[in-house]
Amino acid sequence: MQAFGLFNYWVVVLLMMTGLYIVTASPNLIKKIIGLNIFQTSVFILYITIGKVSFGTAPILVDGVSRYSNPLPHVLILTAIVVGVATTALGLALVVRIHSAYGSINESELQNEDAADS
Amino acid sequence: MYIAGIAAVLVTMALTLARAFMGPTVYDRILAVNSFGTKTVLIIALYGYFTGRPDFLDIALVYALINFIGTIAVLKFFEYGDLGRDRPSQPDDI
Amino acid sequence: MDIGSFLINAILLVFLAATAIAVARLQNLFAGAMLFGIYSLLSAGVFVVLDAVDVAFTEAAVGAGIATILMLSTIALTGIKHESIPIRPLRSLLLVAVVGAALIYGTFDMPRFGDAEAPAHQHVALRYLQQSGDEIGIPNVVTSVLASYRGYDTLGEVAVIFTAGIGVLCLLGGSRRRRTDPADKS
Amino acid sequence: MQLLLDAISWICLLSGGFFVVAGGIGLLRFPDFFTRLHAASVTDTLGTGLILLGLMLQSGFSQASVKLILILVFLFFSSPTAAHALAKAALHGKLVPFVKR
């Protein structure tokens, strides 16, 4: 059973790398933001995995339970989720603005247009 | 006994995911996402009972609400081409 | 180890990985956004199984709800529904393979799943769990840490959200007026 | 009495699980969108209702039961509405129902 103890981390690494692949390989800006979100969620899962204690329960105090999971990663991730959505909204607003200025959200087309302008 | 229910819901989740990946039309994917949302509500409710702390059903409740609102928003996007601008549906929108 | 929780968690994580890879392979942006909705739902399911109920609550309301709708409305506003072929996929794959291998190598030193002796559980968290009931007086430890012990963090978070909101308004508030004249797009 | 309630709740949970899985198989195997919609939405309402009913019998009169009833009522209204909206959108989107000749 010890060997499976690292399974969560491996899936987290897989998700992280999927997000990184989307961000680097996809030319489309909306797809890049989706990739960024996938990456972000994998970090959340990493933190929550660290906070889990076997046979512990959620850190909401009740009588007769003495083993709780660690509440600190939960607090950090709670903040991170909200900030993450705020940055996603800002990124998507930038995409909309770029589209209305250039007429395209394809990275290579944008670079071509910039090169033609200068 | 709860574990049997959880197993059934997990199997259904796998089937629904397969439909969402194959999709042929976009409507199939929306249907799969909607159905998947219901399964998530179920698994959260069942897991609460499985671990003996059923006081976290609020999450399932929020999921049921979000799922419905999400589906309706998506469908509005598809019928009118955007999320609810006030104009009649035009055939070239989709 | 807590086998029931671990198995459910593992199955949900496998679904999560499959969904992420499907998002990476799909060319249709709309389908990608829909699958991202499933991805959010699944990750919130994982949070519930790993005892982070407050995180799951936030992820449900914010991640699955708002983020997906924001993506869909961006797709609607730009009108672009398909992406073109990936640029330099081999170079990206190489980068991903190297970084992934390094990270996997790094995981071997991590504490095992659910280890109660892990360093993360030894410091301030223990104090929060034992004292916050008396000091703050509410049962939910996450809320006491968020709003009391680390209240300044939350204040900073609110400042970030406020800035992002102002940024979005600045970016989009002007563009609507400009779009009334489509002729000068050239 | 407790044993009877437990037995009924188990039957509810098991049959609910069966219906949910049946709906999943239908969603995967049926030939076109409208048949899949039929399979998914009908069994969703029944299977979900049965599972939630089974859980309700387990907790008796408590706060958890009230929340379960709220979830049940909500799904009872929202699930058919979503299915109807989907079918309408698909018809508007020029999707032709599959008819066997």
Phi and psi angles of residue A55, each rounded to the nearest 5 degrees, phi first: 65, 10
pLDDT above 80 for A85: yes
What are φ and ψ of residue B84, in 5° steps? 90, 40
pLDDT greater than 90 at residue C83 = no
Q: How confident is the model at residue D5 (pLDDT cuts 50, 70, 90)?
A: confident
The answer to whether the Cβ–Cβ distance between B25 and D90 falls below 8 Å is yes
B93 close to D (CB below 8 A) = no
Nearest Cα residue to A47 out of C59, C39, D27:
C59
At residue C174, the pLDDT reads: 63
- C-alpha–C-alpha distance, residues C125 and C57, integer Å: 21
Taking the Cβ of residue B83 and every Cβ of chain D, the question of whether any pair is shorter than 8 Å is answered with no
Does any CB of chain C come closer than 8 Å to the CB of residue A7? yes
Q: Mind telling me how many Å the CA of B89 is from chain A's nearest CA?
A: 23
Label residues C154-169 b or e (16+ Cβ within 10 Å = b): beebeeebeebeebbe
Which residues in chain A touch residue C50, judged by CB atoms under 8 angstroms apart? 48-49, 51-52, 69
Mean residue pLDDT of chain A comes to: 88
Residue B91 has pLDDT above 50, yes or no: no
The 3-state DSSP class for residue A118 equals: coil
For domain A2-117, the CATH class is: mainly alpha
User: What band does C184 get if pLDDT is binned at 50, 70 and 90?
Assistant: very low
Return the structure tokens found at D30. 């049926």
Mean pLDDT of C101-110: 91
CB atoms within 10 A of CB A102: 14
The answer on pLDDT for C50 being more than 60 is yes
Cβ of B55 under 8 Å from any chain A Cβ? Answer: yes
Distance CA C21, CA A21 (A): 10
Q: Confidence band (pLDDT; 50, 70, 90) for B87?
A: very low
Answer whether A86's CB lies under 8 Å from C62's CB: no
Q: How many CB pairs under 8 A join A and C?
A: 288
What gap in Å lies between CA C66 and CA A81, rounded to an integer? 11
Query: Which residues fall within 8 angstroms of residue A95, CB to CB, at 6 or more apart?
Result: A29, A30, A33, A105, C74, C78
Which subunits have 3 or more CB–CB pairs within 8 Å of chain D? B
CB pairs under 8 A between B and C: 89
pLDDT of residue C37: 87
List the structure tokens of C127: 């104090």
What is the residue extent of each domain of chain A?
2-117
pLDDT confidence of residue B83: 47
Q: Which residues contact C157 (CB under 8 A, 6 or more apart)?
A: A79, A82, A83
Mapped onto helix, strand or coil, the DSSP state of residue C85 is: coil
pLDDT of D101 reads 59
Mutate to test the interface with C, among B26, B55, B63, B69 (most CBs of C within 10 A): B63
Q: Where are the domains of chain C?
A: 1-84, 122-177
Using one digit for the tens of pLDDT, what is the confidence trace for C119-160?
888 888 888 888 888 888 888 888 888 888 888 888 999 999
**Fold of the CATH domain C1-84:** Four Helix Bundle (Hemerythrin (Met), subunit A) (1.20.120)
Closest CA to A42 of A73, A9, A79: A9
Greater model confidence, B79 or C102? C102
**C-alpha distances in Å from residue C87, one per residue of A16, A107, C30, C93, C98:** 19, 9, 20, 11, 19
Distance CA C119, CA C129 (A): 16
Task: Tell me whether chains A and B touch (3+ CB pairs under 8 A).
Answer: yes
Instruction: Answer with the residue of higher pLDDT: A99 or D94.
Output: A99
Contacts of C36 in chain A (CB under 8 A): 34, 37-38
Mutation test of the interface with chain A: which of B50, B53, B66, choosing the one with the most A Cβ atoms within 10 A?
B53
* pLDDT value at residue B55: 78
Global ipTM: 0.89
Number of folded domains in chain B?
A: 1
Per-residue DSSP letter, A68: B
**pLDDT tens per residue across span D9-36:** 899 999 999 999 999 999 988 888 888 9
- Which whole number is the average pLDDT over D65-72? 90
* A58 vs B: CB within 8 A: yes
Q: Which chain A residue shows the shortest CA-CA distance from B51?
A: A57
Q: Share the mean pLDDT of chain C.
A: 84
Q: Which two tokens stand for residue C66?
A: 């708002």
> At residue B86, does pLDDT exceed 60?
no
pLDDT computed for residue D59 by the predictor: 82
Residue contact C56–B59, C-beta within 8 A: yes
* Tokens 């959620």 belong to residue: A58
Query: Which of A61-65, A73-77, B35-39 is the least confident region?
Result: A61-65
Q: How far is CA B90 from the centre of its chain?
A: 28
Q: Provide, as residue numbers in chain B, all residues whose Cβ is less than 8 Å from the Cβ of C50.
A: none
Q: Please report the pLDDT score of residue D45 as a whole number.
A: 87
Task: Measure the CA–CA gap between B27 and B5, rounded to whole angstroms.
Answer: 28
Our CA-based measurement puts residue A112 at a distance from the nearest CA of chain B, in whole angstroms, of 29
Interface contact flag, C69 B70, Cβ < 8 Å? yes
pLDDT above 70 coverage of chain D, percent: 97
pLDDT (0 to 100) of residue B90? 43
What 3-state DSSP class applies to C140? strand
Which of these, B47, C134, C10, D52, lies nearest to A1 by C-alpha position?
Answer: C10
Give the pLDDT of residue A1.
56
Which chain A residues contact residue C55 at CB under 8 A? 44, 48, 74, 77-78, 81
Question: Which has the higher per-residue pLDDT, D3 or A3?
Answer: D3
pLDDT digits (tens, 9 = 90+) for A27-57: 889 999 999 999 999 999 999 999 888 888 8
Using CA atoms, how far apart are residues C57 and C159, in angstroms rounded to an integer? 22
* A78 to A45, A85, A108, C155, D82: CA distances (angstroms): 12, 11, 36, 13, 30
d(CA A39, CA D87) in angstroms, rounded, equals 35
Lowest mean pLDDT among C172-176, D18-22, D82-86: C172-176
Closest CA of chain B from D98, distance in Å: 14
Q: What percent of chain B is modeled with pLDDT above 70?
A: 82
Q: Considering only CB atoms, which chain A residues are within 8 Å of B53?
A: 57-58, 62
